[in-house]
Structures are given as C-alpha cells and as structure tokens.
Amino acid sequence: MSSSSPTLYVVFDYVCPYAYIGKRRADILAREHGVEVQYLPWEIYPGTVPEGRASGGDYPEKASEWVASLAEEVDLSLSGPDRSVNSNLALKGSLYASDQGESSFEAYHEAAFEALWTRGENLGDRDVLSSVVEEAGLELERFFASINHHSYQFRLDVIKRRVEQDLGVQRVPTFVFGDQRVVGNDSFEGSLRRPFEAFLERRKALGEDWASTLATDVGLAGVA
C-alpha cells in the first residue's frame, strides 16, 4: 500500500444481497476518494448443493424492508432467486476474471451480481454462469478450464483462512481499511462512509508516519 493510495478491502459472496449493496458502496467511496478497492471472495455456504434448493420464493420477503432501504441508499432494487445458490464456481470465476485485468473483473463482478440479484437467476447453474462470462467478454472454454484447476480452490481456501483467522471476519460483506472492520448491513452514512472518511483524514495527518495494521500484520495485499 502506498501512502498516496490506500486500499479498501471488501470481503464478499455473491449469494448475499448486502454484498451487492456493498459493491455499490465501494464504488461510491472509490469515486469520491480515489481509493483502490480489492475484493476478497469468501464462500459463506459451501455446503449448498450445486443445483441449489428451492426456497419457495420466501427469502426476499424476510427482512425485505430493511434490505430494500439499504438498497435504495445506493439506487438499487433487488429481486433475489427462488432457491439457495452454490457460489463456488462463480467465486473462483471472480479470481480468474481478476487475473485478466481490472476491467474484466469489474465487468464480471457486476454481471454476476446482476444475474443473481436483479434477474433472480441461479448463479450456480453453469448456463447462467456462462451468460455472465460472455457478458463480461471472457472466453468461455478457457474460463471453465481455468477455474476447474485446483489452484483456484486453493486460492479461495487461502483467502478464507486469512479473513477468518487473521481478520476475524464472520459475515459478508466486511469492509477492511487500516485496522478497522465494518460489516455492511447497516446504514451507509453512519456505519461506513463517515468512519472511512475519518480513517482517510487520520492517514493524511500522519503522512509518512502512518502504518497500517492490515499491511504489516495481516499482509492481504496480493492475496486474491
């Protein structure tokens, strides 16, 4: 991390509606403050069967008012799937997309969230994921050949170990900046924007004497 460009780490899983809202929040902070955002995929329901299980369509109604209010803060309207979703392939795909460059990752990341939380599609379905891949401009055969290699699961496992053991992350999305951890299931202004701006001010005031617990003790830079 350079002194001029701090990094905002965002731990996410596509199956979490708060994580889609969190992506929008990260976009806003990056635009407002010129910070780098690094996404760390963390599979929160690894036991979900690949085809998912029908939920009867009741998930979007649970706590729907609160989720809708947070989505409205960032101009989103969510419509979730009617089943549980296995996100393993999609998360490994996010690492592959990141390997192809920032623009490829951004296109894939947005398309994956939209498929699940705008169109209510099962992102664990290979055909749905194929559409996401093509929408992001990635080559389909190479994508699946790559993410099926054991190295991508290994990378997911390394990130999982780091965020759980070193950062104490328990929920997604979690925003990590300096030595602070913010879970993204509360109001944007009070829970994230103001603390993040205060962090940037402290960092600026300290100048070259500033040191990040994240950078020196956890070493997440380059993990994903």
**If DSSP states are collapsed to H, E and C, what string results for 17-40?**
HHHHHHHHHHHHHHHHHCCEEEEE
Per-residue pLDDT band at 179 (split at 50, 70, 90)? confident
Alpha carbon 176 to chain centroid, angstroms: 12
| Residues 70/21, Cβ–Cβ less than 8 Å | yes
Tokens at 182, concatenated: 């913010």
Least confident of 10-19, 105-114, 206-215: 206-215
Per-residue pLDDT band at 224 (split at 50, 70, 90)? low
Query: Tokens 């990590």 correspond to what residue?
Result: 176
Share above pLDDT 70 across residues of the chain, in percent, rounded to a whole number: 87
Per-residue pLDDT band at 205 (split at 50, 70, 90)? confident
What are the strands of the beta sheet with 7-12, ordered from one edge? 36-41, 7-12, 174-177, 180-183
Q: What is the mean pLDDT of residues 93-117?
A: 98
Tokens at 111, concatenated: 């398309």
Query: Tokens 């390997």 correspond to what residue?
Result: 99
Please determine, for residue 60, whether its predicted confidence score (pLDDT) is greater than 60: no
Tokens at 101, concatenated: 């460059």
User: How distant, in Å, are the alpha carbons of 16, 52, 98, 154 from that of 104?
Assistant: 22, 27, 7, 22
- Report which of 87, 223, 96, 99 is spatially closest to residue 147, judged by C-alpha positions: 96
Q: What is the mean pLDDT of residues 115-140?
A: 97
Please determine, for residue 61, whether its predicted confidence score (pLDDT) is greater than 60: no
Q: Which CATH class name applies to 7-218?
A: alpha beta
The reported pTM is 0.90
Tokens at 176, concatenated: 């990590």
Say what the pLDDT of residue 4 is.
62
